[in-house]
Chains A and B, each alone.
Chain A
Amino acid sequence: MSLLTVRDLTVEFPGPRGTVRAVDGLSFALERGRTLGIVGESGSGKSATSLAIMGLHAAARVGGSIELDGTEIVGAGREAVRALRGRRMAMIFQDPMSSLHPNHRVGEQIAETRRLHFGASRRRAREDAVRALADVGVPAPRERARDFPHQFSGGMRQRVMIAMALACEPDLLIADEPTTALDVTVQAQILELIAGVQRDRGLAVVLITHDLGVVARVADDVLVMYAGRSVEKAAVAELFTGPRHPYTRGLLGSLPRLDGPPGAPAPIPGNPPDLLSPPGGCPFHPRCPERIDGCATVRPELTGGAHPAACHLLSAPEEAAP
C-alpha cells in the first residue's frame, strides 16, 4: 500500500468575486523512499495541494480523499489531523526567514515538537534539538541552538527548518519550493541534504517546485500541474525524454539551459489562465500551439498507463470530437 494516496482532490476558495478552484480533481500515490516532484507555474495549484495534504487550509473547501498510511485526512477531525502534523508528515517552506518564529530561539523551536509529540522533558527535548541541528550539518549545534533565526544565513535557516521538520521522524516530508529563495550554490547544498536524509531515513518526499532542473536532480516521479489539474505524470527520465503533453513540451522548450546550444528559447504564448473564469475544455487550449477541434469544449482526462497525460491528441481523433 502506498504511504500517501490522493484521490480526486479539489480545493476551492470561495471569494467575493466567485469561487476559485485551485485544485481540480487531482490524483496520485507516493511510496515510502520515493520523491515525487510536483511541477507547475504560479496558480497551478501545487502549493494548495501541499497545504491540503497537511490539513492546513482554513478558508478553503477541500474535497476528495487524502490517505496517509491508511488514515483519511479530508474531513477528519481537527485533532486527528493535528496529531499527524509534525509527527507523521512535516513540511518545509520557501522562505526560511519568515517561516521561523523571529522571537524564539532556534533550539526551542525544534525542541517544541519533541515535547509535543513524544512528551519529551524540557531537558531531553533540548538535547534532541541539538542532535537534530547536528544531523543537518549546522556547525557548533549546541551554541547555535541558543541563537535566534536572524543570526543565521539563508542556507543555515533552511537547514534549521529541515531539522525541525525531521525532529519527530516523519514518514512524509513536503518541501514547498525549498530552494527558491536561496542562492544557487546554497541550493545545491540543501538539495543534497534533502536527498541524503531521504536516502538514510526512507522518507517519502513531495517536492513542489517551478524549477525543472531541481526536479531532474532529485525526483523519481514527476507530476505536471496546470490550472489546478494534473496534465502529465511520469517517471522523471521519461518526462524529460518523451514529454506527452503540449504544456510539458512548451515548458521544456521555454527553459533557459546551460546544456545545448545557447540561443533564444521558445516561449509559450499568452498568459496563465484566470482561475476565476478558467477556459472551458482543456484549460491549456488558449495557449496550445497544437490544439484541435474538441480542445475548447471537452475536458481531456488523464489517460495512458504508466505515463499518462491529459490531452486530446493522445486519444483517437473521433473520440475527441464533441
Chain B
Amino acid sequence: MIRYLALRLLGVAGVLLVICAATFTIFYVFPADPALQACGKSCTPERLAMLHHQMGLDRPLWRQFTDYLTGVLAGRTYGDGPHAVQCHFPCLGFSYQNDTPVWDLMMDRLPTTLSIAAGAALLWLAGGVAAGVLSALRKDTLLDRAMMVGTLTSASLPVYFTAMTLMVLVVQIGGLLPYSSYVPIGSDPVGWAKNLVLPWAALALLYAAMYARLTRASMVETMAEPFIRTARAKGLPERTVVVKHGLRAGLTPVFTVFGMDLGALLGGAVITESVFGLPGLGQLTIDAIDKSDQPVVMGVALLAAFFITFANLVVDLVYALLDPQVRYA
C-alpha cells in the first residue's frame, strides 16, 4: 500500500510538471512582452531593460522555466543587488497588474471558491443521489419518468440561465435574499450561507440532474445483480438490501465521478462566480486573461490542475478501500 501510494504521488508530480511546462510554453512564447506590460504607460527603454533583467526574461527560456519551478518548490529572488525582490515559497511570480504575489492573490480568492464548490457539492450529491436511488427503486413508474424528464431538462439548461433566473426571481422580484457577496464564514456563518444559497442552487441544479441520472443507471444495474437476489433470499428487509447491499456497490461509480467534478470546480466556477459577482478564483482567472496577466493565469491553471489530479488520487485511494478486488493493485 505504501509503495502504491508513493507511485501514485510520483504520478501526480509528473502530471503537474507536464502541465506546468505546457502552460509555461503557451504563456511565455506568447508574443506580448511581459516586461512591457509591467512597465506601464510612461516606460523608458532603461526601465524596460531593468525590468527584463529583474523578471529574468533575459535568460534562456529553459532557465526561465527552471527558475519558475524552483520558485514554486522553494521560493526565489527576482533580480539582484538593490532591486532584488524576495518571493517566498510557493512562488508563482507577481501579478503584472499590481505586483502582488500570485499566491497571495489566489489565497485571497480561494475561500470564496471553496465555499461555493463545497456547498454546491454537498447539495447536489445529496439531492442527485437521493433522486437517482428513488428513481431506480421505482423504475418505470410515473415518479421515475417524471424525475428523468425533470433531470434531463435541468441538465440541459445552461448554468448562467439557471443562475440569472434564480437571481431575478429570488432577489429582484421576491426580495427574499440579498445580492450575493462574500462574507467569510468565520465572521458571520449565517450571512455566509445566505449569500451563497443561490450560487449553490444554480450549480447544484445542474450537477444534481446529472448525478441523478448516473445514480439511477448504476443502481438499476446493481439491483439486478445476483448478489441482491441473495440478500433478499436471506430474508433481509428491503431497506437493508438497498442500503447495505445495493448502495455499497451501486454508488462506487458515482463517487468516482464526484471526486473529479469537485476537483474541477475548485479551479473556479467561472460562470457562476461571474453571474453572482463573487470574487472567487474563476473571476480572478477571467480578469487575468482579460489583462494578459500571465503569472496569474498560469498560477490558477496550476492550482486547478493540482486540485483535479489530487482529487483523482483521492478517488482512486477511496476506490481501493471500497473495492477489495482493486486493493494494492
Contact = CB atoms under 8 A, between A and B. Distances in A.
Nearest to A82: B235
B245 A101 contact: yes
B42 interface: no
Interface stretch (B8-16, B113-121, B276-284, B317-325): B317-325
Nearest to A86: B235
Nearest to B322: A103
Contact of B234 (A78, A93, A98, A116): A116
A201 to B, nearest CB: 18
A102 B323 contact: yes
B227 A113 contact: no
B235 A93 contact: no
Contact of A85 (B225, B234, B323, B324): B234
A99 B232 CA distance: 11
Nearest to A54: B233
Interface string B227-256: 101111111111000000100110000000
B234 A164 contact: yes
A212 B231 CA distance: 30
Interface in A169-188: none
Interface in B191-248: 225-227, 229-238, 245, 248
Given A103-B248, A104-B248, A148-B324, A113 B235 contact: yes
A151 B236 CA distance: 25
A170 to B, nearest CB: 10
Contacts of B249: 101-103
Interface string A86-114: 11001101010011111110000000110
B235 A100 contact: no
Contact of B232 (A85, A95, A161): A85
A116 B232 CA distance: 12
A116 B322 contact: no
B236 A112 contact: yes
Nearest to A90: B233
A7 interface: no
Contact of A100 (B230, B238, B322): B230
Nearest to B246: A101
Given A56-B232, A103-B324, A98 B227 contact: yes
Nearest to A98: B226
Given A101-B248, A102-B324, A103-B322, A86 B234 contact: yes
A113 B231 CA distance: 9
A276 interface: no
Interface in A109-145: 112-113, 116-117
Nearest to A161: B230
B230 A99 contact: yes
A150 interface: yes
Contacts of B226: 93, 95, 98-99
A113 B232 CA distance: 11
A105 B327 CA distance: 14
Interface residues of A, number: 29
A101 B226 CA distance: 9
B301 to A, nearest CB: 38
Nearest to B252: A103
Nearest to B233: A91
A93 B232 contact: no
Contacts of A99: 226-227, 229-230
Nearest to A84: B235
B235 A116 contact: yes
A80 to B, nearest CB: 11
A169 to B, nearest CB: 13
B325 A102 contact: yes
B13 to A, nearest CB: 31
Contacts of A116: 234-236
Contacts of A104: 245, 248
B81 to A, nearest CB: 64
Contacts of A98: 225-227
B325 A150 contact: yes
A84 B233 CA distance: 9
B325 A85 contact: no
Residue of B231, B232, B233, B238 with highest tally of chain A CB at under 10 A = B233
Contacts of A91: 233
A78 B232 CA distance: 11
Interface in B163-185: none
A82 B234 CA distance: 8
Nearest to A105: B324
Contacts of B237: 82
Contacts of A103: 248-249, 322-324
A83 interface: yes
Interface in A205-219: none
Nearest to B229: A56
Contacts of A101: 227, 230-231, 245, 248-249
Interface pairs A-B: 9 shortest CB-CB:
A86-B235, A85-B235, A86-B234, A148-B324, A98-B226, A99-B226, A101-B227, A91-B233, A99-B230
Given A98-B226, A102-B325, 20 more contacts: A83-B235, A85-B232, A90-B233, A90-B234, A91-B233, A98-B225, A99-B226, A99-B229, A99-B230, A100-B227, A100-B230, A101-B248, A102-B323, A104-B248, A112-B236, A113-B235, A116-B234, A148-B325, A151-B324, A164-B234
Interface of B: 225-227, 229-238, 245, 248-249, 322-325
15 contacts: A56-B229, A56-B232, A85-B232, A85-B235, A90-B234, A91-B233, A99-B226, A101-B248, A102-B324, A103-B249, A103-B324, A116-B236, A148-B324, A148-B325, A161-B230
